Amino acid sequence: MSSPTIDHWQGITRILRYLHGTTNFCLHIKPSTDLDIARFSYADWATSIDDRKSIIRQCVFLGETLILWASRKQKSGVTVKY
């Protein structure tokens, strides 16, 4: 706070642009005194039938409210052929 840089300003403007563009998404946060952040992740190792890559899934909760859910396939690695 005492010596902000251009990177800080760019980060703030990015957050504000994101918030402005998502005003209609309606994320409802349940009232709660528990505002702990919890992250859960799961990976199924090389079970994709097509390319034998892993799929990683994760979710993040703020209290009881789901605030992030993501799933992605492994980007690189050794492809195993049988």
Q: What is the 3-state secondary structure (H, E, C) of the chain?
A: CCCCCHHHHHHHHHHHHHHHHCCCCCCCCCCCCCCCEEEEEEEECCCCCCCCCCEEEEEEEECCEEEEEEEEECCCCCCCCC
The domain tally of the chain equals: 1
Confidence of residue 76 (pLDDT cuts 50, 70, 90): low
Report if residue 10 sits inside a domain. yes
| pLDDT surpasses 90 at 78 | no
Q: How confident is the model at residue 25, as a pLDDT?
A: 78
Confidence of residue 74 (pLDDT cuts 50, 70, 90): confident
Report if residue 78 sits inside a domain. no
pLDDT tens column, 4-28: 899 999 999 998 998 888 878 776 7
pLDDT tens column, 24-71: 877 677 777 888 999 999 888 777 677 777 888 999 998 888 888 898
What pTM did the predictor assign?
0.50
